[in-house]
Structure 1
Amino acid sequence: MLSTTVVGSGGAWGGTVRPDSHYVLDAANGATLLTVPFGHALDAVAYVLGEPERLRIRTAARRTSAVDAESGRSVPMTAPDQVVASGRLPGGAVATFHYRGGTARATNFRWESNGTEGDLLLTAPTGHPQLAPVTLEGGRGTSTGLAPLPVPDSYVRVPHLDPRTDAPAFAVAHAYRQLLDDLREGTAGVPDFAHGAARHRSIAATAALPGDWVY
């Protein structure tokens, strides 16, 4: 592994806000671009490639308000709408992240990993990979492009739900299925409260270092 790069859009924290989502704009509420979509993306990278070391996170608040999508009135925003991070994976590979608020016309989620033998690309229509339908592609050796890597049917463990058209429900249903397996078999496949607390501590410890630029 040489490097891995994640670019994502948060959906919220953009130019408009749904009437029921004003709370995400207030940094004091803790449900921010940093702690929600970026946190889930960081957790995915750590799960697959190992916990990034020497992680440094910086935030910026480029927007100071959003427009309520229903009323048209302006709503103050104190939560950051830009998150940039970098670090090293346990084997020495470079890891970089950029999350931005709102929805992009181009890339809303792209996770690219580059190694000496090939490349992997994971994409999704939203920057919330924990709930979005993902597409995996890869290439190695003498290939000059990427080819689809289908997810094996054995990973679909809840009937009557499609991983693409029912994406959020599909993800939640599989989490509950894994929880059921954990209870029955004494395993620990589902992240618990301690795991979530550790992730938030890792973000808090590296997102407020002296010298960070915060606009």
Structure 2
Amino acid sequence: MAPTRVGFIGLSKSGWAPRAHLPYLKSSPDYEIVAICNSSVESAREAIKLYELPSSVKAYANPEGKSRPHVILSISNSIKLTNTSDIANDKDVDLVVCSVRVDRHLPTISPSLRAGKDVLVEWPLGKNLAEAEELLALKNVGGVKNAVVDLQARQAPIVRKAKELIEQGKIGSVLSSTWTGAAGTFGAGYGKSYEYLGRREVGGNMVTIHFGHAVDYVQYVLGYGFNEHGAKSVVANRRPILKLLEDDGKTVIEEKHVKTSDDTIFLTGTLSSGIPLSFSLRGDKAFKNTPGLDWRIYGSTGEIRITASGPFLQIGYPDLKLEVYDFESDVLEEVEVGDDLEEVEGPAKNVGRVYRGVGEGENNCTFEDAVERHRLIAGMYRENGIEN
């Protein structure tokens, strides 16, 4: 079978895309990058050269459909004509992958959805519920077959193992669950590269990213949605003033930088599955010598505990641990999780599993699923009197 031809929007010199997407796309025979769309043709060309992609890869600069031809030099220094805007209408592109800042998702992937192209986009889907719903509507109007959101923690072996153990009755009937995490960010200061995380209006912050990823994998294991009583939440910005630092983490740019996004999140309720859930996430690092994530799933005959340095199970940590405590035997067992994707490392593993699933006809997270996660967050904002 011919590989899926990928047009990648946002393959920069550094950041998430080259760390998490590129390793699997380059190593898998099931995918082939055929086009790069960056902020400029020159930037796209630089990415093609930097990541040693074939000289046949097209360089684009604008995904929004206003075509204008450019003359550029390919890597082999031969002159060729390319179009800076029509990645959405490029007949050689089967799948458009978008890895840009969330407030740019709507203008960036709308042309591809209108053109009926398959799309894989990072979570959050939009910068708020309204944008997410608009993208879902565009997907439906365009008749897009595969519209995937990269909530990739569902693919993490440790998450799937926890779900499997519960379904096998390893801890009997699940009675309740508690999740406690420290985000690692939003202590006394943060680096300028992540300053946008401190602006709620951008849409990428601790509520949407940290909480959004975590509550999704918790519900993947325990059941989506809440019962008729709904959930109660607290969302608060308890550190509205932080230091803005250079990316070295030491040099102060601004002593009193205003932060508008939130750093304290509590959520309690009973899931539609009948399982009571208590969820607590705060900013800053964890208490010394304690895990940054402590997730307990309490059952009638035992308990599952998942711990890690931080809450991002979609990225993974070297100290990830899944333990099962059997009440009757008083035995504590560390469960081997395994690795079914050894060819890539770090954050590329779970993103790679998403791509593998797409290739096998499994949509990790649909636009419809993502809109439901956005509705939960929008409801939490409303409950706490926060405009979004």
**So what's the TM-score if we normalise by structure 2?**
0.48
- SS of the equivalent of 2:324 reads strand
Residue 380 of structure 2 aligns with which residue? 206
Asked whether the equivalents of residues 7 and 107 of structure 1 are also in contact (C-alpha less than 8 Å), the reply is no
Asked whether the equivalents of residues 33 and 99 of structure 1 are also in contact (C-alpha less than 8 Å), the reply is no
Q: Which has the higher contact order (CA 8 A, sep 6+)?
A: 1
- SS of the equivalent of 2:341 reads coil
1:169 aligns with 2:348: yes
Q: When you count helix as a share of all residues, which structure comes out higher? A: 2
Which residues in structure 2 correspond to 1:18-97 (within 5 Å)?
A: 18-53=191-226, 54-70=230-246, 71-72=251-252, 73-74=254-255, 75-97=257-279
Q: CA deviation at 1:46?
A: 1.2
Q: 1:76 to 1:114 in 2, by over 3 A?
A: same
Residue segments in structure 2 that go unaligned for 5+ positions in a row: 1-173
Q: 1:107 to 1:52 in 2, by over 3 A?
A: farther
What number of residue pairs does the alignment pair up? 200
1:125 aligns with 2:309: yes
- SS of the equivalent of 2:342 reads coil
**So what's the TM-score if we normalise by structure 1?**
0.84
What stretches of structure 1 move > 4 A for 4+ residues in a row? none
Asked whether the equivalents of residues 113 and 119 of structure 1 are also in contact (C-alpha less than 8 Å), the reply is yes
Which residues in structure 2 correspond to 1:94-173 (within 5 Å)?
A: 94-104=276-286, 105=288, 106-133=290-317, 134-144=320-330, 146-151=332-337, 153=338, 156-161=339-344, 166-173=345-352
Q: CA deviation at 1:77?
A: 0.7
- Give the greater-gyration-radius structure (CA): 2
Asked whether the equivalents of residues 323 and 334 of structure 2 are also in contact (C-alpha less than 8 Å), the reply is yes
Asked whether the equivalents of residues 52 and 95 of structure 1 are also in contact (C-alpha less than 8 Å), the reply is no
Asked whether the equivalents of residues 56 and 207 of structure 1 are also in contact (C-alpha less than 8 Å), the reply is no
Percent of aligned pairs sharing the same letter: 27
